[in-house]
A and B are shown apart, each in its own frame.
Chain A
Amino acid sequence: MRPLKATRAPVVHRPKPLSGPDADFASGARTGAEPKLRLRGVFNRKGDRFDPAPSRLSYRLQRWMLTPGIRRGLKIGLPILAVCAAVGIYFGAQERRDAVVAYVMDIKTSIQQRPEFMVNLMAIDGAGTNLSEDIREVVPLDFPISSWDLDVEQIRDTITGLNPVKSATVRVRPGGILQVDVVERQPVIVWRTRNGIELLDETGAHVKRISSRKDHANLPLIAGKGADGHVGEALALLTTARSLGGRVRGLVRIGERRWDLVLDRGQRIMLPTERPVRALERVLAVNEVQDLLERDVAVVDMRLGQRPTIRMTKAASEDWWNTKVNVSSEQ
């Protein structure tokens, strides 16, 4: 006789324990279908016990939770949201925000102030004494200073902004030295204006204001408003006028558009706006042949290339008049 009770669970003969999906299935068939949360004792308890069935709500909820998008949202989105919320709440208060900022700044400063990063002195190469002093004046740094605080670009711009400086490189050299390499502007011309006398370099840039022309007697002189904008042209003209030697006094810019070459004895060569060097060459050629500039000529007017004009000095024209009168009276 085989004892059998109604409550005995069915015996399953298995040679070995199940694993993998089989185990899941075997266990799931008994308990897996039961909902985790069940309102036991509230709604028909008996029916639930015999035939476990998920409620419509739990069924929908489970399906919802198995949806890939929702799962990803819960797995990634929710933690991110939680972290964001926590950070947001923490930084909601001003004093906590300040405290964190101060803490970070503390650490930052302590790192920046390490001796490895400190710059102790500024070395300037390629500048004269005056310029060095000027540079030190415009770059007011109180050493030692951390290299993190140095704005090398800005220092270079400041130095390049100085008039006598053509270009400059600024870098922090190992050993805590701020190395400034300067190329100075070389004055090539003297520019006389109503306000004073200035030295200009070949690009027309202002180098320095001087008190007396005598200090730079070897440099050619230009004058007139707007002359500094055409230093290159002026130099070309002066190079062409080299053959006149010491007779050249200088160049005058007339009406901000053309040059007058001024010689001694009050002589003046008025050059055209277009191609002044060529016009000057023509004058010099005539001078070569006919000694034009040795004569009593006040002005050689080359402004119209078609019709070069000569104005004589007053004495010469009077002389000429007298000669003409004498000749006519003798006749």
Chain B
Amino acid sequence: MMTDLYQSQRAMRQMRRQAMQRGVVAILDVGSSKIACLVLRFDGTGRLSEDNTIGSMAGQTGFRVIGAATTRSRGVQFGEVTAMQETERAIRTALQAAQKMADIRVDHVIASFSGANPRSYGLDAQVDLEGQVVTEAEVGRVLNACDVPDYGAGREVLHAQPVNFALDNRSGLIDPRGQMGQSLAVDMHMLTVDATAIQNIVRCIKRCDLELAGIANSAYVSGVSALVEDEQELGAACIDMGGGTTSVSIFMKKHMIYADCVRMGGDHVTSDISMGLGIPASVAERIKTFNGGVHATGADDRDLIDIGGDTGDWEHDRRTVSRAELIGIMRPRVEEILEEVRVRLDAAGFEHMPSQQIVLTGGGSQIMGLDGLATRILGQRVRLGRPLRVHGLPQSATGPGFSSAVGLSLFAAHPQDEWWDFEIPVDTYAARPFKRAVRWFRDNW
């Protein structure tokens, strides 16, 4: 089964390489409340600015967004596909609009989704080197030596990233290749998700005549785009408050070391408002967006909101609610979400991290006063994060709700080395003799 996964992930890498060659790839963020599609054009290697510094684009200039579209998501709950036809239609809508804007046909898609019960595992292994020098084959060997925990049937490995290498007594190596030593140890972060969720997404994308060139967890990719470089280096948690789920990812030394998701999000706040005030969900969403908040002040008692209605009953259609009441409905739910996030962070041992930075992003993070509330629940160092700026991204797609889409673009441009990027050693590969001979030739000549 591991070999199976290895093969399918390698096939996706191959597809991604093809897409890079063609120069156009679509980014698809399948969320519970919206589906965002960006079309990227890759035009050569990234250039640095004139004075040879990294510059404001952080070197992410290798690609350009040439098409962007969003549509309301359908058939997705808690970040998982529940109605495949609906989801397929939504993907088609977003993709068609983005293609139209880009004026080019896109065949390869890199997708991200948030739900499907992500679970993190820390793996480690140590091997004695065959030679003196760490080669790519040695790295593959040590990665393969990690003993994979029994993550259960019906689960699939989504990410398996080496986060740390240690050579003899030296730890914290990012890239040990070419270095001398006796024994090589690796720490690997493995993220598993429900296999059915992946299969559903893959199937939806296949039904849209597209080739899947990569798949990522949105907790990871939103962390990639919302955390700035030093936060990723020193350690930070990214909390992506989406519609159906709130994803949590912890970064350290520029690697994700933990990811989890809380199955609550902005949609639950909306449904609370809808239920509490007896209004349709669309009106509740609008009221939440324009008037919502989590800190009630004295002025909010006098700020009345027309919640309307369409029944023909004069009294019913002229109901009003004060903003304080609205906040009173929203706040417990937001608190609950943040408490749940706190629990997940505690479970991950976030308090032992050297830096306790927390970054809130995602569409839900736009609730007014959320940072104040989060400070009280999660800790002092909380900020609101917006995605990194990338070339050609329309102004309207730079909000925090697009951090996972933008992160996925960065992921597409500069994917992190994963386990399957290294060759499995021959003895476990169960290769045919001929292939082994070819390998021998390639290794020795």
A: residues with CB less than 8 A from B are 1-6, 10, 18, 21-22, 24-26, 28-29, 32-33, 51-54, 56, 59-60, 62-63, 66-68
For B291, list chain A residues within 8 Å (CB): 2
Determine if B99 and A33 form an interchain contact, defined as CB atoms under 8 angstroms apart.
no
B: residues with CB less than 8 A from A are 65-66, 68-72, 74, 89-90, 92-94, 96-97, 99-101, 103-105, 208-209, 280, 282-283, 286-287, 289-291, 303-308, 310, 320, 392, 394-397
For B283, list chain A residues within 8 Å (CB): 6
For A33, list chain B residues within 8 Å (CB): 69, 71, 93-94, 96-97
Determine if B209 and A51 form an interchain contact, defined as CB atoms under 8 angstroms apart.
no
Chain B residue nearest to A23 in the complex (CB) = B394
Determine if B287 and A51 form an interchain contact, defined as CB atoms under 8 angstroms apart.
no
Chain A residue nearest to B320 in the complex (CB) = A1
A25 touching B68 in the complex, CB below 8 Å, given contacts A60-B209, A67-B105, A68-B105: yes
Determine if A25 and B105 form an interchain contact, defined as CB atoms under 8 angstroms apart.
no
Determine if B209 and A4 form an interchain contact, defined as CB atoms under 8 angstroms apart.
no
Determine if B96 and A54 form an interchain contact, defined as CB atoms under 8 angstroms apart.
yes
For B99, list chain A residues within 8 Å (CB): 62-63, 66
For B74, list chain A residues within 8 Å (CB): 51
Contact of A52 among B93, B303, B304, B392 (CB under 8 A): B93
Q: How far is the CA of A1 from the CA of B306 in the complex (A)?
A: 7
A5 touching B392 in the complex, CB below 8 Å, given contacts A63-B99, A67-B105: no
For B97, list chain A residues within 8 Å (CB): 28-29, 32-33
Which of B68, B103, B291 neighbours the largest number of chain A CB atoms within 10 Å of its CB? B68
For A6, list chain B residues within 8 Å (CB): 280, 282-283, 286, 308, 310
Contact of B396 among A22, A56, A62 (CB under 8 A): A22
Determine if B93 and A29 form an interchain contact, defined as CB atoms under 8 angstroms apart.
no
Q: How far is the CA of A54 from the CA of B310 in the complex (A)?
A: 30
Chain A residue nearest to B105 in the complex (CB) = A66
Q: How far is the CA of A4 from the CA of B303 in the complex (A)?
A: 13
Q: How far is the CA of A2 from the CA of B287 in the complex (A)?
A: 11
Pairs A–B under 8 Å by Cβ, sample size 16: A2-B303, A4-B308, A5-B308, A18-B396, A21-B66, A24-B394, A25-B397, A29-B69, A29-B97, A32-B97, A32-B101, A53-B90, A66-B99, A66-B104, A66-B105, A67-B105
Determine if B101 and A53 form an interchain contact, defined as CB atoms under 8 angstroms apart.
no
Contact of B304 among A1, A24, A29 (CB under 8 A): A1
For A56, list chain B residues within 8 Å (CB): 92
Chain A residue nearest to B208 in the complex (CB) = A59
Determine if A1 and B100 form an interchain contact, defined as CB atoms under 8 angstroms apart.
no
Smallest distance from the beta carbon of A157 to chain B beta carbons, Å? 64
Determine if A54 and B92 form an interchain contact, defined as CB atoms under 8 angstroms apart.
yes
A3 touching B306 in the complex, CB below 8 Å, given contacts A25-B394, A60-B209: yes
For A1, list chain B residues within 8 Å (CB): 304-306, 320
For A4, list chain B residues within 8 Å (CB): 286-287, 290, 305-308
For A53, list chain B residues within 8 Å (CB): 71, 89-90, 92-93
Chain B residue nearest to A12 in the complex (CB) = B396
For B320, list chain A residues within 8 Å (CB): 1
Q: How far is the CA of A10 from the CA of B283 in the complex (A)?
A: 12
Smallest distance from the beta carbon of B427 to chain A beta carbons, Å? 45
Smallest distance from the beta carbon of A29 to chain B beta carbons, Å? 6
For A66, list chain B residues within 8 Å (CB): 99-100, 103-105
For A26, list chain B residues within 8 Å (CB): 394, 396
Determine if A51 and B89 form an interchain contact, defined as CB atoms under 8 angstroms apart.
yes
Which of B70, B89, B392 neighbours the largest number of chain A CB atoms within 10 Å of its CB? B89
Smallest distance from the beta carbon of A129 to chain B beta carbons, Å? 84
Smallest distance from the beta carbon of B340 to chain A beta carbons, Å? 30
For B96, list chain A residues within 8 Å (CB): 33, 54, 59, 62-63
Determine if A32 and B69 form an interchain contact, defined as CB atoms under 8 angstroms apart.
yes
Determine if B70 and A29 form an interchain contact, defined as CB atoms under 8 angstroms apart.
yes
For A59, list chain B residues within 8 Å (CB): 92, 96, 208
Chain B residue nearest to A20 in the complex (CB) = B394
For A52, list chain B residues within 8 Å (CB): 93
Q: How far is the CA of A62 from the CA of B100 in the complex (A)?
A: 8
Determine if B305 and A2 form an interchain contact, defined as CB atoms under 8 angstroms apart.
yes
Q: How far is the CA of A1 from the CA of B301 in the complex (A)?
A: 11
Q: How far is the CA of A33 from the CA of B37 in the complex (A)?
A: 12
Q: How far is the CA of A67 from the CA of B103 in the complex (A)?
A: 9
- Please give me the 6 A-B residue pairs with the lowest Cβ-Cβ distance, nearest first: A25-B394, A66-B105, A53-B89, A33-B97, A1-B304, A22-B394
For B280, list chain A residues within 8 Å (CB): 6
Chain A residue nearest to B210 in the complex (CB) = A63
Smallest distance from the beta carbon of A107 to chain B beta carbons, Å? 47
Q: How far is the CA of A25 from the CA of B394 in the complex (A)?
A: 7
Smallest distance from the beta carbon of B406 to chain A beta carbons, Å? 14
Determine if A63 and B209 form an interchain contact, defined as CB atoms under 8 angstroms apart.
yes
8 new A-B contacts at CB < 8 Å, known A4-B305, A10-B286, A52-B93: A1-B306, A18-B395, A18-B396, A26-B396, A53-B71, A59-B96, A63-B99, A66-B100
Q: How far is the CA of A16 from the CA of B99 in the complex (A)?
A: 27
Determine if A28 and B100 form an interchain contact, defined as CB atoms under 8 angstroms apart.
yes
A32 touching B396 in the complex, CB below 8 Å, given contacts A6-B280, A53-B92: no
